[in-house]
């Protein structure tokens, strides 16, 4: 009986009233959860142990949306992994593609053309803005801010349209390739960007007025599910949640990849690491991402047209005819990767996402290991929410932005 064993008093309200422990399953079919998780995969569910309305314990079920991703991509040539990698997220799937390509390119010794570097950064930041707007919309849904939800959805759709226009298709179209990117920015992107940028900033400002400046919303989020820096490090929490806890860590600045070290942007941080701080950090990160997109667009305009893909020095382009292709067909081109291993991590919308790739020089990957932030954040969720009210579950899940596909193991 916990405390009652020492003092003779019941440890919980349930024990005082003579009730057994209440266990509630907030499953994927739960209408509120389905709306909140719609943008990140609707397979996640939660088994919640309650004392009255307080959460005593929490178990996260990641569902059956994906299984065996890493093993599957080890069974084909290096390029075959890209469609699976892109499905680690929705809009953020292009960021996972870039992380995977950077790891293989590092191992293969591929030097990227300048245009491909700036294009990758521009597209990654559009994907970050799209994912963050989706996070804001999910939070508004969870706490019943209808007008704020509408503003966030408009921003999400506008950012997603820009992302699709920049890549020539959706986030799962295979835009990032080993050695570069599939296509350049359409000419109309440059001319239309100033107006689109203003639309996105205006939508973000409207959301901010309806949420952060709403006393009811502030009271709803303040001191809910706080995270200390020590807890973040213990549970490998990264990304906006780590920065909301007051840790100024962002791989784009602290361990820069591509050309982020050449850009001018700020790293927003919080102080208490609660849901309110997480909200404030996400809002400011959208502004900074749009700022980065503008810088990349200007630099691309100054470079003009040119090469978007590069070969691998010391490696040759090969043809793979061993996967059932007809003898008369040319086969599937691939890059020959020498024996060795490489690790590359990037700052994804959910946190630090990395790939460890190992090659034995035989043509197929020896090992591909993905370090996906949502996998760690799902494990940290019970620590955040023990003692919180049941009503705090969905807002916290929305702000953590648990992507079901990233939890695939």
- Give the mean pLDDT of 185-204: 93
Determine contact, residues 300/185, Cβ cutoff 8 Å: yes
Q: Which of 31-35, 127-131, 175-179 has the lowest mean pLDDT?
A: 31-35
397 vs 69: CA distance, rounded Å: 24
367 vs 354: CA distance, rounded Å: 14
165 vs 183: CA distance, rounded Å: 11
Q: What is the pLDDT, as a whole number, of residue 316?
A: 36
Q: Which residues contact 251 (CB under 8 A, 6 or more apart)?
A: 257, 345, 346, 347, 352
| pLDDT band at 29; cut points 50, 70, 90 | low
Residue-range domains of the chain with CATH: 69-407 (1.10.645.10)
Q: What is the pLDDT, as a whole number, of residue 51?
A: 86
Instruction: Check whether 42 has a pLDDT greater than 80.
Output: no
Q: What is the phi/psi pair of residue 180, to 5°?
A: 160, -145
57 vs 324: CA distance, rounded Å: 51
Tokens of 245: 């806890």
**CB-side neighbour CA atoms (13 Å) of 214:** 20
Percentage of the chain modeled with pLDDT above 90: 66
Q: What is the pLDDT, as a whole number, of residue 162?
A: 95
**Integer CA distances (angstroms), 196 to 155, 290, 368, 390, in order:** 10, 10, 38, 39
111 vs 160: CA distance, rounded Å: 29
pLDDT digits (tens, 9 = 90+) for 198-219: 999 999 999 999 999 999 999 9
Instruction: Check whether 7 has a pLDDT greater than 50.
Output: yes
* Average pLDDT of every residue of the chain: 86
Q: Which residues contact 258 (CB under 8 A, 6 or more apart)?
A: 98, 102, 117, 120, 121
Tokens of 368: 């591909």
Percentage of the chain modeled with pLDDT above 70: 84
198 vs 345: CA distance, rounded Å: 31
Instruction: Check whether 147 has a pLDDT greater than 70.
Output: yes
- Give the mean pLDDT of 242-262: 96
Instruction: Check whether 271 has a pLDDT greater than 60.
Output: yes
Tokens of 91: 């809009």
pLDDT digits (tens, 9 = 90+) for 58-73: 988 877 666 688 888 8
Instruction: Check whether 241 has a pLDDT greater than 60.
Output: yes
* Number of Cβ within a 10 Å radius of residue 304: 7
116 vs 100: CA distance, rounded Å: 15
Enter the pTM of the model: 0.88
Q: What is the pLDDT, as a whole number, of residue 368?
A: 95
Q: What is the pLDDT, as a whole number, of residue 407?
A: 82
């Amino acid at each position: 009986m916990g405390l009652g064993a020492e003092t003779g008093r019941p440890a919980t309200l349930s024990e005082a009233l003579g009730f057994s422990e209440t266990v509630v399953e907030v499953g994927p079919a739960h209408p509120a959860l389905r709306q909140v998780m719609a943008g990140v995969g609707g397979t996640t569910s939660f088994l919640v142990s309650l004392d009255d309305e307080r959460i005593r314990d929490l178990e996260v079920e990641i569902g059956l949306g994906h299984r065996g991703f890493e093993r599957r991509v080890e069974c084909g040539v290096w390029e075959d992994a890209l469609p699976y990698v892109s499905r680690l997220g929705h809009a953020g799937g292009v960021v996972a593609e870039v992380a995977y390509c950077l790891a293989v390119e590092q191992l293969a010794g591929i030097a990227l053309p300048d245009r491909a570097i700036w294009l990758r950064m521009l597209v990654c930041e559009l994907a970050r803005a799209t994912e963050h707007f989706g996070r804001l919309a999910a939070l508004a849904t969870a706490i019943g801010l209808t007008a704020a939800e509408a503003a966030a959805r408009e921003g999400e759709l506008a950012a997603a349209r820009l992302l699709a226009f920049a890549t020539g298709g959706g986030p799962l179209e295979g835009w990032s390739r080993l050695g570069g990117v599939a296509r350049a920015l359409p000419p109309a992107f440059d001319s239309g960007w100033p107006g689109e940028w203003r639309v996105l900033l205006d939508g973000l400002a409207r959301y901010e007025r309806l949420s952060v400046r709403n006393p009811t919303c502030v009271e709803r989020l303040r001191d809910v599910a706080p995270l200390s820096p020590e807890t973040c490090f213990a549970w490998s929490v990264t990304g906006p949640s780590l920065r909301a806890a007051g840790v100024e860590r962002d791989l784009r600045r602290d361990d820069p990849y591509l050309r982020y070290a050449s850009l001018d942007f700020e790293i927003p941080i919080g102080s208490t690491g609660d849901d309110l701080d997480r909200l404030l950090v996400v809002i400011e990160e959208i502004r900074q991402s749009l700022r980065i997109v503008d810088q990349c667009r200007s630099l691309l305009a100054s470079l003009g047209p040119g090469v978007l893909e590069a070969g691998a020095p010391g490696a040759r382009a090969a043809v793979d005819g061993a996967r059932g292709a007809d003898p008369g067909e040319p086969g599937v081109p691939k890059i020959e990767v020498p024996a060795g291993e490489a690790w590359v991590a990037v700052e994804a919308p959910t946190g630090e996402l990395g790939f460890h790739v190992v090659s034995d020089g035989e043509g197929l990957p020896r090992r591909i290991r993905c370090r996906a932030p949502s996998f760690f954040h799902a494990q940290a969720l019970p620590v955040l929410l023990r003692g919180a009210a049941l009503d705090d579950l969905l807002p916290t899940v929305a702000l953590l932005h648990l992507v079901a596909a990233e939890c695939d193991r």
